[in-house]
Amino acid sequence: MADLREHPDDDLGAYALGALGEPEARRVESHVATCATCRSVLAQHRAVAEALPLGLEPVAPPPEAWAAVRADVGRHRPPRPRGARTGTRPLWRHAVWPALTALVASLLVWNVVLQRELSHRSPGPAPGPEVEALSRRPGRVVTFAGTGRPGASARLFVPVDGGQGHLAISGLSALPRGRTYQLWFVRTGSPTVTGGTFAVDARGVAWAKITIPPSLHDVRAISVTEEPAPGSARPTGDGLLEGKP
């Protein structure tokens, strides 16, 4: 059954604008499903339609707009996983959903703990915006026990998406020149690797950037030792603090 007007040339532009009524839109759709020429023309019209808003001069939004978005996002709304259409994202399959819930819970802990660390840090160089940014990233907290130094305590903040972690530490004494504290990741099946060195201030407090290894799966312990400056390739001192990831 031949249509009088086989190619809906007149309607392709309107379709791209979303300006066709229902029956006409459906007719265009069923036609382009089988017609490569019209499909290609439609693609051009669609690109034009999508370009129209790009002709607008941007207008600065009111500041409260972003604040409202951030507040809502920060209220523990991790992106909802939708697997099917993106195809290659096994990470977001159902099996991982419980892990995401745990992640959200640890986000809460993370924020609370960070806030406490912040409030304990009076006066002294405040970590400031760095900590702000860190507190907004989902991550884990590793708590250390002062096995070798009773009274010392530490928490390591590990962002879930990699990148630098941060160590908040207290209860260690300031070291003389030529000595430094060093953090280690003790791994199963791989050599122990360092996360960096740091010094505590006169109050025995430090807030240090730590390099996190690519994977924590094979890390069985995290420890802090005292080493000769500027640090050692392998731990030589006794473990002062120990934590388990």
Partner 1 sequence: MPDLRPGAGRTPAPGEPAAREELGLVDRMRLGDETALESLYARHGGLIYALALRIVADPELAREVLQDTFLRCWDRCSAYDAARGRLVSWLVSIARHRAIDLLRSRPHQARLREREALTELRPEAESSDVTHTVALRRAIAGALQALPVAQRQAIEMAYFGGQTQAEIASALGQPLGTIKSRTREAMERLRAVLWPLIGPGGEAQKDRG
Out of 2, 3, 5, 18, the residue judged to bind partner 1 by CB under 8 A: 18
Hey, what amino acid is at 52? L
- Spatial contact of 171 and 181, defined as CB atoms under 8 Å apart: no
13 belongs to the binding site for partner 1 (CB under 8 A): yes
Nearer to partner 1, 87 or 191 (CB): 87
What does the alpha-carbon distance between residue 160 and residue 137 come to, in Å, rounded to a whole number? 8
SS3 of residue 161 by DSSP: coil
x/- string (CB under 8 A) for partner 1, residues 140-179?
Answer: --------------------xx------------------
Amino acid at 126: A
- DSSP letters, 79-121, are PPP--GGG-S-GGGSGGGHHHHHHHHHHHHHHHHHHHHHHHH-
Binding range to partner 1, per CB under 8 A, among 3-11, 30-38, 177-185, 190-198: 3-11
> Smallest gap, in angstroms, from Cβ of residue 14 to partner 1?
5
- Residues in contact with partner 1, shown as a per-residue x/- string from 85 to 124 under the rule CB under 8 A: xx--x-xx----------x---x-----------------
Give me the residue label for tokens 């473990």.
Answer: 239
Secondary structure in 3-state letters for 63-79: HHHHHHHHHHHHCCCCC
Q: Where are the beta strands (DSSP E) in 125-245?
A: 139-145, 153-159, 165-170, 179-187, 193-198, 205-210, 219-228, 239-243
The region of 53-61, 118-126, 175-183, 205-213 touching partner 1 under the rule CB under 8 A is 53-61
Which one of 1, 5, 36, 55 is in contact with partner 1 (CB under 8 A)?
55
| Closest CB to partner 1 among residues 103, 175 | 103
The reply to whether 44 sits near partner 1 by the rule CB under 8 A is yes
- Token readout for 239 is 């473990």
Q: How far is the CB of 136 from partner 1 (least distance, A)?
A: 5
Residues that bind partner 1 (CB under 8 A): 9-14, 16-21, 44-45, 47-62, 64-66, 68-70, 72-74, 77-83, 85-86, 89, 91-92, 103, 107, 133, 136-138, 160-161
